[in-house]
């Protein structure tokens, strides 16, 4: 792409907007002080104007390739380094105030002033609603851009693994390896050793010799790479949850000859899975295609965080 060339006078427009924004600081501070801890519509209006000019001059400077040291250092809301797009993962813990977040961001070198971050967030009306989570931020983002990301809860996406219906454990293992979700070998070891997988104790005794048929097809998300047993646990617990809710997961969906197939110790034939009483307070037993509630109370055996979408 050819670099757009502009006249020397026009190239100074971003700096002129920065100077204009700096001139808004004294009246902005005066309105804040006059509000005595409350909100000031005048201060909010000035902040809105400052935010607009911040976006405009940054866009023009990058578009025209006329970034200047003055623009970088004179504007306290400007990016710390417009050329540094390296992503940093910042964790906002539940209960963090705008002041706490601003201090952390300043210490990480992502913004110029934690105090101005707090004031800007409060005047934008989002000071108390910055969502907790893990965020990918960079030094090339302005303070206003960071506030928008936190206010919208645009958290860092985790690792996703979509398991289609009808897949066997080997195919699932390949998908987990390809997406970085879990190790292929580690997952297959867990499938072949059910006692090593938490949640298998909710299956009626004796436990299955393999977890083939209990790995529910769904889209799963985790914040970082997990062990093979954890990946298998998520799928088993999701299958149990849907069985308890009354959903019929047929043979095609589960990728086996029979729903939840396992060999009967006595005759070696297929046997549909049964579930023991959930320690959380509810129990459901599956026999063939019939599911009945043994307890009126509904409770999952464990939280099902990590599963996206519905059954």
Hey, how many other C-beta atoms are within 10 angstroms of the C-beta on 105?
25
Query: What are the φ/ψ torsions at residue 238 (nearest 5 degrees)?
Result: -65, -40
List pLDDT tens digits, range 129-188.
888 888 889 998 989 889 989 988 877 777 889 999 989 999 999 999 998 899 999 999
Q: How many angstroms separate the CA atoms of 288 and 299, rounded?
A: 22
Asked which of 126, 156, 186 is the last residue of a domain, the reply is 156
Q: What pLDDT does 128 receive?
A: 87
Query: How much of the chain is helix, strand and coil, in % rounded to 5?
Result: 40, 10, 45
Q: How many angstroms separate the CA atoms of 148 and 134, rounded?
A: 14
Q: Are residues 143 and 56 in the same domain?
A: no
Q: Has residue 258 got a pLDDT over 50?
A: no
Q: Are residues 198 and 179 in the same domain?
A: yes
Q: How many angstroms separate the CA atoms of 267 and 260, rounded?
A: 17
Q: Are residues 293 and 184 in the same domain?
A: yes
Q: What pLDDT does 66 receive?
A: 63
Q: Are residues 187 and 300 in the same domain?
A: yes
Mean pLDDT in residue range 292-304: 34
Q: What pLDDT does 308 receive?
A: 56
Q: What pLDDT does 47 receive?
A: 79
Please state, in angstroms and as integers, the Cα–Cα distance from residue 210 to each residue in 153, 167, 259, 267, following that order.
Answer: 40, 15, 14, 17
Q: Are residues 46 and 171 in the same domain?
A: no
Peptide bond preceding 206 in cis form (omega within 30 of 0): yes
Residues 6+ positions from 203 with CB-CB distance below 8 Å:
194, 214, 240, 273, 274, 275, 276
Q: Has residue 260 got a pLDDT over 50?
A: no
Q: What pLDDT does 276 receive?
A: 41
Q: Are residues 110 and 239 in the same domain?
A: no
Q: How many angstroms separate the CA atoms of 148 and 137, rounded?
A: 11
List pLDDT tens digits, range 103-138.
999 999 999 899 989 988 988 888 888 888 888 899
Q: How many angstroms separate the CA atoms of 306 and 311, rounded?
A: 14
Q: Are residues 43 and 121 in the same domain?
A: no
Q: Has residue 34 got a pLDDT over 60?
A: yes
Q: What pLDDT does 29 receive?
A: 81
Mean pLDDT in residue range 1-12: 65
The pTM (predicted TM-score) of the whole model is: 0.45
Residue where the block lists tokens 């005759």: 267
Q: Are residues 165 and 147 in the same domain?
A: no
Provide the domain count of the chain.
Answer: 3
List pLDDT tens digits, range 194-252.
999 998 888 766 778 899 988 999 999 887 889 999 999 999 998 888 877 765 554 44
Helix H or strand E encompassing 162: strand 159-162
Beta sheet of 219-222, edge-to-edge order: 159-162, 219-222, 307-308
Q: Has residue 32 got a pLDDT over 60?
A: yes
Residues 6+ positions from 291 with CB-CB distance below 8 Å:
243, 244, 246, 248, 284, 285
Q: Are residues 198 and 266 in the same domain?
A: yes
Number of H helices, E strands in the chain: 12, 7
Asked which of 119, 138, 156 is the last residue of a domain, the reply is 156
Q: What pLDDT does 262 receive?
A: 38
Provide the CATH number for the domain around residue 98.
3.30.1490.480
List pLDDT tens digits, range 43-97.
888 878 877 877 777 677 667 766 666 655 667 777 888 788 898 889 888 889 9
Q: Are residues 86 and 30 in the same domain?
A: no
DSSP for 16-76, please give it.
HHHHHHHHTHHHHHHHHHHTTTS--HHHHHHHHHHHHHHHHHHHHHHHHT---HHHHHH-T
How close are the terminal C-alpha atoms of the chain, in Å?
A: 47
Asked which of 108, 127, 156 is the last residue of a domain, the reply is 156
Q: Has residue 257 got a pLDDT over 50?
A: no
Q: What is the DSSP letter of 270?
A: B
Q: Are residues 304 and 163 in the same domain?
A: yes
Mean pLDDT in residue range 270-294: 34
Q: What pLDDT does 310 receive?
A: 43
* 161: its two tokens: 């693994």
Hey, how many other C-beta atoms are within 10 angstroms of the C-beta on 234?
25
Q: Are residues 59 and 170 in the same domain?
A: no
Range of the domain at 183: 159-308
Q: Has residue 294 got a pLDDT over 50?
A: no
Residue 4: pLDDT band (50, 70, 90) is low
Q: What pLDDT does 69 receive?
A: 61
Q: What pLDDT does 205 receive?
A: 67
């Amino acid at each position: 792409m050819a670099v757009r060339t502009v006249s020397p006078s026009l190239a100074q427009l971003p700096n002129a907007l920065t100077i204009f924004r700096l001139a808004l600081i004294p009246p902005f501070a005066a309105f804040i002080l006059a509000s005595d801890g409350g909100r000031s519509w005048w201060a909010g209006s000035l902040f809105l104007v400052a935010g607009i000019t911040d976006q405009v001059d940054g866009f023009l400077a990058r578009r025209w390739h006329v970034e200047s040291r003055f623009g970088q250092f004179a504007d306290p809301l400007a990016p710390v380094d417009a050329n540094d797009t390296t992503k940093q993962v910042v964790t906002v813990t539940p209960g963090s105030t705008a002041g706490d977040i601003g201090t952390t961001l300043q210490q990480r070198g992502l913004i110029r002033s934690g105090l101005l971050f707090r004031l800007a967030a409060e005047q934008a009306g989002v000071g108390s609603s910055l969502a907790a989570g893990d965020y990918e931020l960079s030094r090339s983002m302005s303070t206003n851009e960071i506030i928008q990301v936190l206010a919208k809860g645009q958290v860092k996406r985790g690792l996703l693994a979509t398991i289609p219906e009808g897949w066997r454990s080997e195919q699932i293992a390949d998908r987990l390896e390809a997406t970085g979700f879990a190790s292929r070998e580690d997952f297959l070891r867990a499938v072949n050793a059910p006692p090593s997988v938490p949640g298998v104790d909710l299956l009626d005794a004796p436990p299955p010799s393999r977890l083939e048929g209990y790995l529910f097809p769904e889209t799963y998300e985790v914040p970082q790479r997990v062990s093979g047993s954890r990946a298998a646990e998520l799928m088993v617990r999701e299958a149990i949850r849907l069985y308890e809710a009354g959903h019929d997961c047929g043979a095609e969906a589960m990728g086996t000859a029979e729903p939840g197939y396992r060999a009967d110790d006595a005759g070696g034939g297929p046997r549909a899975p049964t579930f023991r009483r959930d320690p959380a307070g509810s129990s459901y037993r599956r026999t063939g295609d019939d599911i009945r509630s043994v307890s009126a109370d509904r409770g999952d055996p464990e939280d099902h965080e990590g599963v996206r979408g519905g059954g």
